[in-house]
Amino acid sequence: LFKEIQNSARYHFLIKQPYLSTLMLLGFLKNSNHFSPKEIESLFITSYFKDVGMSLIPKDKHDSRNLSDIDKQSFHNHPEHSAQILNGRIPISTNYLDIMLNHHQFYSMLESKQNNQDKDQNIDDSEALKHIAGAETLFVCIFDILAALITPRPYRKAMTLYEALELIRSIMIKDHANEFKHIVLFVRKYFT
């Protein structure tokens, strides 16, 4: 059973990715010296449990390359399910549940850039960025994306850390250049 869990994408989505993104976020927060121990603890809990709503999606959907529109909507709705499941069950305030709800704010921009759809269309990234409520949400989003990009999925190969940072730079540089600089400095210090 353990081998089956390890080899499935569901294990990745429910255990590996939250763990990897949370460890990177934790290192970044501690390294930055801008967050109190209580804030770091709350962001750790938020990041680690942000994908618990994925547990409501049937196992066979996690490994599928071809999803129906309903299946895609289930994946899209997992932040809301996570917040509903965890509300009142873990020791975090509603502010952190809001971070959990918004931890996918950059994904649409990322997918657009990955698919090169924005070459012909003038997509304004600032519209999606308006929904980012504070640096905490931004950092949870970005480390979640970074963990996703550097690990393989059923539908794509893993990117190198450099490739992932280049893609992230393309969605952050206009409105969050300083935050991106801090992420790069952290990654350079600990991962190169």
Here the contacts of 167-172 (C-beta below 8 Å, separation 24 or greater) are: 167/110, 167/113, 167/114, 168/110, 168/142, 170/113, 171/106, 171/109, 171/110, 171/113, 171/125, 172/142
Contact 167, 148 (CB under 8 A): no
Q: What integer pLDDT is reported at residue 4 of this predicted model? A: 43
| Model confidence pLDDT, tens digit, residues 79-130 | 999 999 999 999 899 999 999 998 887 776 666 666 654 444 444 444 444 4
Q: What integer pLDDT is reported at residue 131 of this predicted model? A: 47
- Residue 8 has what DSSP assignment? S
Q: How far apart are CA 176 and CA 139, in angstroms?
A: 11
Mean pLDDT by 10 residues, the chain (192 residues): 44 75 94 93 94 83 78 86 92 91 76 56 47 78 91 81 92 87 90 70
Residue 60 has which token pair?
Answer: 């066979």
- The four Cα atoms 96, 89, 76, 61 give a dihedral, to 10 degrees, of 140
Cβ neighbour number for residue 158 with a 10 Å cutoff: 13
Q: Give all strands (DSSP E) within 6-52, no chain letters.
A: none
pTM score above 0.75: yes
